[in-house]
Structure 1
Amino acid sequence: MNGVLQSIFTIILTVEFIIGNIGNGIIAVVNIIDLVKRRKISSVDQILTALAISRIALLWLVLVNWWFIMFSPGKWMTKRMVGILHSIWTAFNQFSLWFATSLSIFCFFKIANFSNTIFLYFKVRVKKVMAGALLVSLVLLCLNIIVINVPENIFIPEYKINMSYSLSLNNTQPSVLFSFANTIFVFIPFAVSLVTFLLLIFSLCKHLRKMQHSSQGSKDISTKAHIRALQTVIASLLLYAIFFLSLVVKVWGSLLLERKLLLLITQAARTAFPSVHSCVLILGNPKLRKASLSVLLWLRCRSKDRNPSVHRAGAQLCGSSCIS
């Protein structure tokens, strides 16, 4: 049974790794090509590119860590290596979360419509708001790395690694504290994304009430922009919630006896956010959607070895998607 579970979740993680690398790779390549052609890049494309690159690095780190632990547990997972690995994973994970949160903040200020003075002040200074959010993320990242490393050197004398590739401590209480602290640092960007989502809903409701008293009706440009943004944010927030809940479950699971199934489920759930969320971002962005469709068309033509005219059509579609 253990071998079956190991094989199933290895396949799941491999599929998530492939999907995440393809999705994030398309986002990064399309925006980089656009930058080379136009010599400039929009703020949202800058965020998307940084988010994609950080997630590709995170997915590779997760996959390499998974395969090393599964095939050679105990050979390289020393106390020092665990600390380094936790620090690197924390850095890429925090960058990924805060870039996703920055994207939610940017969409909120660009689409929402309030007459509040504070909102209008930040709306015209959205780039400074994004810079401030990234600065806060760097400060929190430094604090997070300090929390997971300094107490570890003081309170944890040694690690015990068994063949079930789950890391256990001689004393489980410090592990709970570290996992809880890490969950708190993850909760901060999650809470910011949740607030922007609720404010977007409030802005849409307010806009719809205003449209009901006018002759334009409810299907104007602003309403459609609100709805498209909410569709993307809802999917993003759902994946974000799954990611956050997996961390909470991991904290509670560390209070119990060592459970391999719990470790496997939480690992697969955490990997789903940087992987599947790239597909959500592609579907919500017309330029990225056209580029991904052109890639799929090109792959389909290559696999079926169709006539050259179809290949040229796919290449032309890819070029037009990058320019648009």
Structure 2
Amino acid sequence: MPLSRTFIFIAIFCMQSLAALLQNGFMATVLGREWVQSQGLPAGDMIMACLAASRFCLHGIAILNNFLAFAMLWTVKSYLTILWDFINTANFWFTTWLAIFYCVKISSFSHPIFFWIKWRISRSVPRLLLGSLIIGGLSAISSATGNTIALQMAACENYTVSYKAIAFYVYYFRCHVMLMWVIPFFLFLLSIILLMFSLYRHLEQMRYHRPRTHDYSTQAHTMALKTLTFFLIFYTSHVLLLAVSVAHVVNIHDSWHWAWEVITYMGISLHSTILILSNSKMRKALKIKFPDLCIARS
């Protein structure tokens, strides 16, 4: 029974990853083609293009990583994990910049610093994206260094040294996670909190001062919050998955490992779906590529 349950979760994970590859490949292709043809993109679409490309690679590497570990090809997996670390870290930062971009553009705070950030954010997007790739590279180098040191120490025949190697790797990995992944998580969470506070202030102003029939600002706040809240689910499940992985509670052949993988990457798939449906360029491209599907929906 546990074996059949494992294969069920593996099948769900594969179908989910295939759907995410198609989604993010579609987004990256549409925005990338426009980027090349027009030699530029709006700042928000530029972040979305990089985010879609990173998620496409992340899902592909996640599939390879899991099946290499399942087949016990640990040497190949260790090299692929370094690439996964680079793309995963860059993906975290791309998502954080998208959240900050939404927060800055949609929120209605009147502080001078906020106005300065709103004026500078669009111009700074290319440098922020490049900085995300640099941070991802540093994360991969740090992860590779920690793995190499731990493996060399673990190869020692002395049991005490091997035990210290495992303890070193766990401690090193936790510090690595805190530095590279938790920081963008808190920035992402701060953006959501600021958007919620801005929406609350806006609703209070609408209630007491100038009610309108069509409130586009409220719609923008709500859409941004829906988009960011879904990805917050991915962040939370991913942190839990990392905690389980570090504690070595779940084995790669255990059904619970694949269940956690489904939960984690389901958040990315849902967030990508919302990004496609909430972007006018993506909806237009869907109508052109899949007119029958759009007619059926309508």
Specify the TM-score bucket, using the shorter chain as the normaliser.
0.7 to 0.9
Partner of 1:183: 177
SS of equivalent residue, structure 1 residue 156: helix
Query: Normalised by the size of structure 1, how large is the TM-score?
Result: 0.77
Q: In the alignment, is residue 22 of structure 1 matched against residue 8 of structure 2?
A: no
- Counterpart among 120, 124, 129 of residue 119 in structure 2: 124
Contact 1:12–1:268, Cα closer than 8 Å, also in 2: yes
SS of equivalent residue, structure 2 residue 152: coil
Stretches of structure 1 lacking an aligned partner (at least 5 in a row): 161-168, 301-312, 315-324
Partner of 1:90: 85
1:251-309, Cα deviation, whole Å (9 max, x unpaired): 3x32x585734432333333223333211211222331343355444469xxxxxxxxx
Q: Which amino acid aligns with 2:99?
A: S
Contact 1:122–1:129, Cα closer than 8 Å, also in 2: no
**Partner Cα separation in structure 2 for residue 175 and residue 268 of structure 1:** 26
- Counterpart among 195, 198, 207 of residue 193 in structure 2: 198
- Counterpart among 242, 245, 264 of residue 237 in structure 2: 242
Q: Which amino acid aligns with 1:268?
A: V
Q: How does 1:138-153 map to 2 (within 5 A)?
A: 138-153=133-148
**Partner Cα separation in structure 2 for residue 131 and residue 268 of structure 1:** 32
User: What is the number of equivalent residue pairs in this alignment?
Assistant: 287
Contact 2:87–2:136, Cα closer than 8 Å, also in 1: no
**Partner Cα separation in structure 1 for residue 266 and residue 87 of structure 2:** 15
Between 235-244 and 211-220, report the one with greater CA deviation.
211-220
Q: In the alignment, is residue 46 of structure 1 matched against residue 46 of structure 2?
A: yes
Residues 118 and 172 of structure 1: CA distance in aligned 2, closer, same or farther (over 3 Å)? same
Identity rate of aligned residues, in percent? 28
Greater fraction of residues in helix: 2
1:193-240, Cα deviation, whole Å (9 max, x unpaired): 110010011111112222223233474222221122112122222222
- Counterpart among 107, 110, 115 of residue 110 in structure 2: 115
Query: Normalised by the size of structure 2, how large is the TM-score?
Result: 0.83
1:112-146, Cα deviation, whole Å (9 max, x unpaired): 11110111111100134434544553453344234
**Partner Cα separation in structure 2 for residue 224 and residue 257 of structure 1:** 42
**Partner Cα separation in structure 2 for residue 127 and residue 242 of structure 1:** 31
Q: Which amino acid aligns with 1:34?
A: E
Partner of 2:272: 278
**Partner Cα separation in structure 1 for residue 134 and residue 52 of structure 2:** 22
Partner of 1:319: none
**Partner Cα separation in structure 1 for residue 283 and residue 172 of structure 2:** 40
**Partner Cα separation in structure 1 for residue 274 and residue 293 of structure 2:** 21
Between 104-113 and 270-279, report the one with greater CA deviation.
270-279
SS of equivalent residue, structure 2 residue 258: helix
Contact 1:246–1:269, Cα closer than 8 Å, also in 2: no
**Partner Cα separation in structure 1 for residue 10 and residue 250 of structure 2:** 23
Between 33-42 and 270-279, report the one with greater CA deviation.
33-42
TM-superposed deviation, 1:30:
2.2
**Partner Cα separation in structure 1 for residue 6 and residue 154 of structure 2:** 22
- Tell me the C-alpha RMSD between the 2 structures: 3.0
Between 196-205 and 151-160, report the one with greater CA deviation.
151-160
Contact 2:89–2:139, Cα closer than 8 Å, also in 1: no
Partner of 1:73: 72
TM-superposed deviation, 1:91:
0.8
**Partner Cα separation in structure 1 for residue 46 and residue 101 of structure 2:** 11
**Partner Cα separation in structure 1 for residue 168 and residue 256 of structure 2:** 19
